[in-house]
Every structure is written in structure tokens, then in C-alpha cells.
Structure 1
Amino acid sequence: MNTIKTFVAVVALSSAFGAFASQTVTATDTTLSGAEAQIAAKAKDAGASYRITEAFSGNQVHMTAELSK
């Protein structure tokens, strides 16, 4: 019984911490610097750092980043 309670507690805590371990955010703007500024603002609001994982430039710039604490 004690093992089951411990297991449930570990799963609950890892789910809570794992939910933010790698949150993905996106931004769209007309320039690379504008899109990155949006990503930086989202990271700052979340109290996290960011790593840009993808940027595409066509008519507009689309950027994706992973936030991590």
C-alpha cells in the first residue's frame, strides 16, 4: 500500500514538472527580429529561457521555440 502511494506521488510530481519541461511557443511577424521579440516576451512572461527550433520566412516569418525553466 505504501509503495502505491509513493508511486502515485512520483507520477503526480513528474507530471507537474514535466508539463513545463519543454513547452513550445510560436510567433508570426514580418521580420525575424520581430518574431524573436515575441518569443522572448512569451518566455519572459513564463519565467523561462527559450531556444529557437525553427524559423521560416515566406511572406511572413514564422518562428517556433521551446521554453524551459
Structure 2
Amino acid sequence: MKTIKAMSIAAVAALSMMSAASIAKSVTVRSLTKDGTEAKIAAQAQQQSAQYKIIEASNGNVVHMTAELYK
């Protein structure tokens, strides 16, 4: 009985990690403008039939953005 419970817990843990990894993907892009950078993120999301949420942005000489793609 203990062996079955341990195997079940291990299987649930493995499946939960797999599904979390397949749901969100992080992408980082750079461009000269904010609009150009977001357009690159939107294009990547569209290629993967996903939506995106920008989680980080910074600018200096170029604009740098990181976004999560999710389905």
C-alpha cells in the first residue's frame, strides 16, 4: 500500500511539473523602440498560437523586454 501511494505521489508531481512547463514559455527580445520590441513578442506569440504577458521591460540604447507566452 505504501509503495502504491509513493508511486502515485511521484506520478502526480511529474505530471504537474510537465504541465506547468508546457503552459508558459519565457521569451526575451530587443529592438530600438518599445513598439518594435512588443511587435517582435506579438509575432512570436502568434507563430505559437499563444497569448503573451510582458513581465519585464527596460531601455537604454535599446529596449529589452521579457514576456511569458501561454496558451
User: Per the shorter chain, which TM-score range?
Assistant: 0.7 to 0.9
Counterpart of 2:61 in 1: which secondary structure?
Answer: coil
Deviation at 1:47, TM superposition (A): 2.9
Select the structure of larger CA radius of gyration.
2
Identity %: 45
- Offset at residue 56 of structure 1 (A): 1.6
- TM-score (norm. length: structure 2): 0.78
What letter corresponds to residue 34 of structure 2 in structure 1? L
Alignment RMSD, CA only? 1.6
Q: Give the aligned partner of residue 14 of structure 2.
A: 12
User: What TM-score, normalized to structure 1?
Assistant: 0.79
Aligned to 2:29: 27
5+ residue gaps, structure 1, are: none
The aligned length equals 69
Displacement of 1:14 after TM fit? Answer: 0.6
Runs of 4+ displaced beyond 3 Å: none
